[in-house]
Structure 1
Amino acid sequence: MDVDLGGFLGQNGTYDYDKDYEYKPDDESEGSRAVLIPLLYSAVMVVGQLGNVLLLVILTQKRKSWTISDIFILHLGVSDALLLATLPLRAVQAAEHGWRFGTELCKISGAVFNINFYCGIFLLACISVDRCLSIVHNKQLFTHNRPARAHLSCLVAWFISLILTIPDWIFLTAANDEKGDVCRSDYSQSETDWRLLSRLRHHTLGLLLPAAVLIFCCVRILLRLQQRPKSSQKPTDIMVLLLLVGVFFLCWVPYNITLIVDTFRNGSKEPQDGSSGEGSLKTALMVTAALGCVHACLRPLLYFGLCDNFRKRAVALLTCATDEPKGSLCELGVGEEARPDQSQEVQEIKPMTSVEQQVPSPQC
């Protein structure tokens, strides 16, 4: 039996296997990101700037009667307003898939983004430490008689935030990429592995240490409040603080987790744009960074929903009313002494009454 192999073995041509397996980007998903993320940035910028401008105007009007809580609210509002001012640059970058504003604005935008995160977590840590000392140990870190200590603590938080963003001011640049100019950190000209050092600085000093302080203080406060009788608790200021901390972590933790994954994945090497894994990681960083920026517009909404004084002052300002409430704009309890437990008060009163009964009354 003759088998004709000529038809099979005689094929001398070559076949391009890469033709059918060529990677094609998902144009639909990129188009969705190009629309949704700029819309998100625009909405956050409009809502956030309206809320923070209203907040800062009200604080300016009552600057002669600032409380310790108002001081921290002021610095948090300034930090959010600075971040919101850079969101148009991020919106255009997401829409056009490239950076169009040069190296100087690249440095400013990246540094302000990190300053907002650092300053926010440091200021919340200061508030939490004060509340923990007041409720758990009956001590005060800040007092209304000495507001300079609160201002100094806020300035220290700003100073540390600026120190931690020094690598951003040095290495951020508008570099050329395959798809155009991008705003990224360029460590190629440095012999020292500044990229890894910068990430370790962010993960330890900027995230883990202040987050540990926040979690420790909040847990101690909750445990202490559970031991108190319900009639002696004042949960309003504690609830506002816990919600502020919870919303902060909800918005910023996804970005920081993604950044940690990127740090371990790339190590000390610069990320390569060719792999699909790097592309998905870049997309995750973009989306989670946008979620972190959302936090800047949520704080005024929380104040308006939870704080009666802020809501009344906002309504009074918008309606040009003259009657304004007194007290802190949003009661965080900073600088206030904790109420003693009623059980302790009763125990102190009982011996006093018994002694009074034993002492005979003087006879005339």
Structure 2
Amino acid sequence: MGLTVGFSKLVLGVYGFTLITGLPANILAFYTFLQKIRKRSTPMDVLLFSLTISDLIFLLFLPFRMVEVANMKWTMPYFLCPLSGFIFYSVIANSVLHLTAISVERYLGVAFPIKYKLKRNPRSAIIACVIFSMMSMAHCSIIYFMQYHNYFNPNITDPSKRNTCYEEFTHEQLDILLPFRVELSVVFFLIPFLICCFCYIQCIRILSRLSNVNAKKRYRAMGMALGTLLVFVICFMPFNISHLEGFIRGNSSEWRHPALLTSTLNACLDPFIFYFSSSAVRETFKNVLRGLARRLLLPCCHSALYCSLFNRGKPEERTQSTDDSIR
């Protein structure tokens, strides 16, 4: 993987933080959306539920990459190499498409509230989610093609005998891979980002003019819009710029791995979007936080009460202790 010890520790730190924070938050969101969809679902619920599943799959496969980074080389069975890479990059692409669809759904709901409410159907969201998954997996299947390209060529080292994963490419492979990465950047970043910018800028413009809308709801919608755009800029933009830079240089970008770190953070930032998007998620998060606070504070309260009673003591004990101290 070509990592230094210092950068390896940084990567492990980012991956560990993403796993520790993202897993419980996404599990709570998954439970919330599952309960809501069982009762009565909207297109937004379906999109957020599908995005939650995508993030959970990403987080479950993240330990494979953590093992690789910790050892600074690929030591696991080789069939896991293309599989983990395929899942890793497919989920990132899938998340971008889901966030874009959420922005479109928000814009339609704000710009055409009556017409859209009459026509919206959860089935259309389900179909969209299936299409997003198929698109992401179809594009990222190039990982398998690159890993086993010229597999039977005796002049090329057997991929399973290498200690790297999706790192070493021949000039022939790069001639295929580099233009394809640019296409990925256009389809899974540039176009979605422009759509999100249009939708959320329009949402903010419309909401800022509506005086009859509850201020809290208006600010929450604006917060979601700005949060999603920040996720695009922070999480997805650096990695996709590295694709363009690598295409211009004619080789894989040297800062591709540092840029990929920010994409990893998307799995723990998505729950914030869920928080702004769904009242059910907000209620679940609040209930969990209240429960945790109660469990943490209750022993402290009991301890403080016990100490207070112990120090107060009985009148005779206080008198006796005072006499003893005088003596």
Aligned in 2, Cα 1:128/1:58: closer, same or farther, shift over 3 Å? closer
Q: Which residue of 2 aligns with 1:58?
A: 32
Q: Which residue of 1 aligns with 2:268?
A: 297
Equivalences, count: 277
Q: Which residue of 1 aligns with 2:23?
A: 49
Unpaired runs of 5+ residues, structure 1, are 1-28, 272-280, 321-364
Residue 213 (structure 1) aligned with residue 195 (structure 2): yes
Residue 231 (structure 1) aligned with residue 215 (structure 2): no
Q: Which residue of 2 aligns with 1:359?
A: none
Instruction: Return the offset for 1:213.
Output: 1.3
**Residues 58, 314 of structure 1: 8 Å contact kept:** no
- Sequence identity (%): 22
Aligned in 2, Cα 1:95/1:50: closer, same or farther, shift over 3 Å? same
Instruction: Return the offset for 1:133.
Output: 3.1
CA RMSD, Structure 1 to Structure 2 (Å): 3.3
**Residues 142, 149 of structure 1: 8 Å contact kept:** no
Q: Deviations over 1:68-93 (max 9, x none)?
A: 22111111111111111121121122
Find the aligned partners of 1:182 and 1:56 in 2 and give their Cα distance. 34
Q: Which residue of 2 aligns with 1:74?
A: 49
- Comparing both structures, which one devotes a greater share of its residues to helix? 2
Find the aligned partners of 1:80 and 1:219 in 2 and give their Cα distance. 26
Find the aligned partners of 1:230 and 1:247 in 2 and give their Cα distance. 29
Aligned in 2, Cα 1:170/1:191: closer, same or farther, shift over 3 Å? closer
Find the aligned partners of 2:289 and 2:31 in 1 and give their Cα distance. 11
Q: Please say which of residues 307-316 and 156-165 is displaced more in the overlay.
A: 307-316
Q: Which of the pair has more CA radius of gyration? A: 1
Q: Please say which of residues 44-53 and 166-175 is displaced more in the overlay.
A: 166-175
Aligned in 2, Cα 1:42/1:302: closer, same or farther, shift over 3 Å? same
Give the partner amino acid of 1:49. L
**Residues 187, 193 of structure 1: 8 Å contact kept:** no
Instruction: Return the offset for 1:42.
Output: 1.7
Aligned in 2, Cα 1:265/1:131: closer, same or farther, shift over 3 Å? same
Q: Deviations over 1:130-188 (max 9, x none)?
A: 332343355756768621111111111111112221212321369789xx611116664
**Residues 34, 49 of structure 2: 8 Å contact kept:** no
Residue 309 (structure 1) aligned with residue 283 (structure 2): no
Instruction: Return the offset for 1:212.
Output: 1.6
Once the two structures are superposed, the pairs formed by residues 1-364 of structure 1 within 5 Å of their partners are: 30-62=4-36, 63-137=38-112, 146-172=121-147, 181-184=163-166, 188=170, 193-226=175-208, 228-232=209-213, 234-235=217-218, 236-266=220-250, 281-282=253-254, 284-304=255-275, 308-316=279-287
Q: TM-score, normalised by structure 2?
A: 0.73
Structure 2 SS opposite 1:103? coil
Unpaired runs of 5+ residues, structure 2, are 152-156, 292-327
Instruction: Return the offset for 1:307.
Output: 5.4
Aligned in 2, Cα 1:259/1:189: closer, same or farther, shift over 3 Å? closer
Aligned in 2, Cα 1:191/1:165: closer, same or farther, shift over 3 Å? closer
Q: TM-score, normalised by structure 1?
A: 0.66
Structure 2 SS opposite 1:170? helix
Find the aligned partners of 1:43 and 1:252 in 2 and give their Cα distance. 18
Find the aligned partners of 1:191 and 1:307 in 2 and give their Cα distance. 45
Aligned in 2, Cα 1:185/1:205: closer, same or farther, shift over 3 Å? farther
